[in-house]
Structure 1
Amino acid sequence: MQKRISLLILISFVLLAFIPKSTSVDNSLKIAFKDHFLIGAAVNNRQVSGMDQAALPVLEKHFSSISPENLLKWGPVHPMPGVYNFTPADQFVEMGAQLGAFIVGHTLVWHQQTPDWVFENDNGELLEKKELIARMEDHIETVAGRYKGRIHGWDVVNEVFFDNGQYRTSKWYNAAGKDFIKAAFRKAHQVDPETELYYNDYNMWKPEKREAAIALAREMRSEGIKIDGIGMQGHYGLDSPSLDQIEASIVAIAAAGFQVMFTEVDIDVLPNPVNRQGADIDATFEADEKYNPYKNELPQEIQEKLAKRYAALFALFVKHSDKISRITFWGVNDGGSWLNNWPIKGRTAYPLPFDKEYKEKEAVLKEILGVLR
């Protein structure tokens, strides 16, 4: 009897030796969540050009989707009338193809990073509605048309609402009302009928903003305009917004019949003068050392809070994975995060699962992956 037990123990050890152990592939975000949603990252010019080659192994291992942080915004890609700078965008699309990734275009129409000339005639006078929409449509035809069949989803229009749900009084809106939004979606669909089309905005956890976006999307659909999803940007803090607030918007957007995407996820661990989240890039403050407390490293206590916050968010995402198609981090690593310069320039930010050297934050990844166990 004793020999039989010993033999069984020996056999068990032998069998265990052939069970694959945890490897770096097992800790891959894109593999871990492949049955739930895509895992994306926003990439920058240095990364797509190959100047920063350290990003590529991280992208290959962890990400099944990529978005361009700035490369396809109007200013960088179309800086002057009749002048297009497609080299970085071409490199971005090529990178996505090499990675076998779902490629997102960001963004065709936005009130920021759009040159003043877009809104003016040759005399510097503001364009009327018809002329402005025609100029916008020409831009969409040129840019989206260049990548037809290669970019799989477009953030067609970005950030047209204030947090209270009122339309942002941008140059676009002042000239054309909400018709510029509808025209942009119509044109994008005409240029590339197969690509997915999204509306994208920050602070979508706020009920007024969420309901305004849903109402716009429903109105467009009722008029036969294609819109597939609504992107919730996901610029969050360690404590706010609450999971209940985020969940309410996931449920409401999906119930209205639209895909949900978290398009620009990061967690700001740094203090700021008014505890502001969101992404209004004009809402900045003067540099002050008291708002840059972690110049050299993140204290263990804050690192643990960051890990727990990501775990809580991903647990919520998994709970609603039937409604969510993609989770995209806004950046690949801490060093490249826009939060180093917003809302205060020159700070040291720690918002992502990868540090400034592209090393995995073990505690953060462990907590994120732990929601699946």
Structure 2
Amino acid sequence: MKTFGLLKILTLSSLFLLFSFSFGERKYGNEELLLKSAFEGKFLFGAALNHRHINGTDKKGLELLRQHFNSIVAENVMKSGPLQPTEGNFNFTMADRFVELGMEGNYHMVGHTLIWHSQAPKWFFTDDEGNDVSPEVLTQRMKDHIYTVVGRYKGKINGWDVVNETILDDGSWRNSKFYQILGEDFVKLAFQFAHEADPDAELYYNDYSMANPGKREGVVKMVKNLQEQGVPIHGIGMQGHIGLDYPTVEEFEKSILAFSKLGVSVMITELDLTVLPAPRRDMGADLATNVEYQQYLNPFTEGLPEDVKRKFDQRYIEFFKLFLKHHDKISRVTLWGIQDGDSWKNGWPVRGRTDYPLLFNRDYTPKPVVNEIINMARAHQ
């Protein structure tokens, strides 16, 4: 009887340990090994939320969010097209739910994004006859949109991606409709309107390929110009859309240092690591780029080979070492999704691919590198 009782206790203990390690909430002694806890005192750790998270249908994803993340950003529902599809007609249903979710979970919240050429509604720039509107009309439309959106969430949203992706890789300005009609002033106006609508919110510029030297110089020049005019800008978001061999850690670090010298916080936004071959070198992250599906561009439909897994792990470790090295300059690191199935990389720049860019698998289990990152962060002084 004593032997049977001991075996029963050992079996129950084993099951308890197995359960503790089964869903990403691992323990070290009595202490949970969680990403947000590992980075506490260094920077916030965030994730982008999609419709299934916001409407509550992805319950496993929300549980991972609760365990490992303390900052959230809406992937799509706060962009100008979904929010105001026709002039003056706002649809705040999903944006409101995002903010409610954030307040219920006491998350740091980022609004994404107020002014962006890619998903702005066409009516923003045209009159009833389809011609470009005047600078005065576009300015008023920007003001009305920003005042309405930022004002609605005043005191709730901690910070806003005010302007997204307006500098090209060579440092020149993107020839968007905003730029064509208003010139460089559209950025200044956007930040001014956002600040007027919520003086306490932090205001950010966000862009991809920020390790590119030309883009780095262009962004620095733009931000300096804004600062000289007294325009409030509090942070720069470096989108972390990286691959197994680009960008170099060294160039990424140069941008962290250059942006930090401007006196603003640096954020690593939209972090994901594609393992798939690029149709061409350094694709950036322009949504307008689409490439026809070809089988050789989708080589890992049944899972990753061990050598690719090792490269993936090492690459994430290299970048998190960099983030920890400069944690005094970085205020937030945000993954663009929670688990691999969430990622936009499965559909861009080639639709129908299977990618593995995030830290959690499609079955919501943590990848081995998660524990390595946690241990590295805990050991970092």
Structure 2 counterpart of 1:369, from 355, 370, 374: 374
C-alpha separation between the residues in 1 aligned to 2:167 and 2:29? 45
Structure 1 counterpart of 2:272, from 266, 272, 278: 266
Offset, 1:275: 3.3
- Of 99-108 and 46-55, more deviation after overlay is shown by 46-55
C-alpha separation between the residues in 2 aligned to 1:218 and 1:67? 26
C-alpha separation between the residues in 2 aligned to 1:21 and 1:353? 18
- Of 287-296 and 213-222, more deviation after overlay is shown by 213-222
- Give aligned pairs, total: 353
> What residue is the counterpart of 2:4 in the other structure?
none
Structure 2 counterparts to residues 1-373 of structure 1, below 5 A: 22=28, 26-361=32-367, 363-372=368-377, 373=379
Where 1:232 maps in the other structure, the secondary structure is strand
- Which amino acid counterpart does residue 264 of structure 1 have in structure 2? E
Offset, 1:26: 2.7
1:227-259 Cα offsets, whole Å, 9 max, x none, are 001110010001211110000001111112111
Where 2:67 maps in the other structure, the secondary structure is helix
C-alpha separation between the residues in 2 aligned to 1:122 and 1:356? 46
Contact 2:27 2:33 in 1 (8 A): no
1:198-224 Cα offsets, whole Å, 9 max, x none, are 000001101111121111112111111
Offset, 1:25: 5.8
- Which amino acid counterpart does residue 352 of structure 1 have in structure 2? L
Contact 2:341 2:362 in 1 (8 A): yes
Where 2:32 maps in the other structure, the secondary structure is coil
The normalised TM-score by structure 1 is 0.92
Offset, 1:196: 0.2
- Give unmatched runs, 5+ long, in structure 1: 1-19
Offset, 1:122: 1.7
- Give aligned-pair identity as a percent: 48
After superposition, the CA RMSD in angstroms is: 1.4
C-alpha separation between the residues in 2 aligned to 1:55 and 1:134? 39
- Which amino acid counterpart does residue 105 of structure 1 have in structure 2? G
C-alpha separation between the residues in 2 aligned to 1:141 and 1:23? 50
Offset, 1:76: 0.9
Change (3 A) 1:25 1:92: farther
- Which amino acid counterpart does residue 273 of structure 1 have in structure 2? P
Change (3 A) 1:364 1:84: same
> What residue is the counterpart of 1:11 in the other structure?
none
The normalised TM-score by structure 2 is 0.90
- Which amino acid counterpart does residue 286 of structure 2 have in structure 1? D
- Which amino acid counterpart does residue 295 of structure 1 have in structure 2? T
Change (3 A) 1:122 1:327: same
C-alpha separation between the residues in 2 aligned to 1:320 and 1:57? 29
- Give unmatched runs, 5+ long, in structure 2: 1-25
1:309-338 Cα offsets, whole Å, 9 max, x none, are 111100000000000000000111110100
- Which amino acid counterpart does residue 181 of structure 2 have in structure 1? A
C-alpha separation between the residues in 2 aligned to 1:232 and 1:270? 21
Contact 1:353 1:360 in 2 (8 A): yes
Where 2:157 maps in the other structure, the secondary structure is coil
> What residue is the counterpart of 1:13 in the other structure?
none
Offset, 1:151: 0.3
- Which amino acid counterpart does residue 221 of structure 1 have in structure 2? Q
Where 2:59 maps in the other structure, the secondary structure is coil
C-alpha separation between the residues in 2 aligned to 1:327 and 1:333? 16
C-alpha separation between the residues in 2 aligned to 1:277 and 1:28? 33
- Which amino acid counterpart does residue 83 of structure 1 have in structure 2? N
Runs of 4+, deviation exceeding 6 Å: none
C-alpha separation between the residues in 2 aligned to 1:311 and 1:368? 6
Contact 1:236 1:277 in 2 (8 A): no
C-alpha separation between the residues in 2 aligned to 1:145 and 1:26? 38
C-alpha separation between the residues in 1 aligned to 2:278 and 2:214? 24
Offset, 1:297: 1.0
Contact 1:308 1:367 in 2 (8 A): no
Contact 2:47 2:69 in 1 (8 A): yes
1:245-299 Cα offsets, whole Å, 9 max, x none, are 0000011111121110001100010012213342111112000111111112111
C-alpha separation between the residues in 1 aligned to 2:259 and 2:349? 29
C-alpha separation between the residues in 2 aligned to 1:237 and 1:25? 33
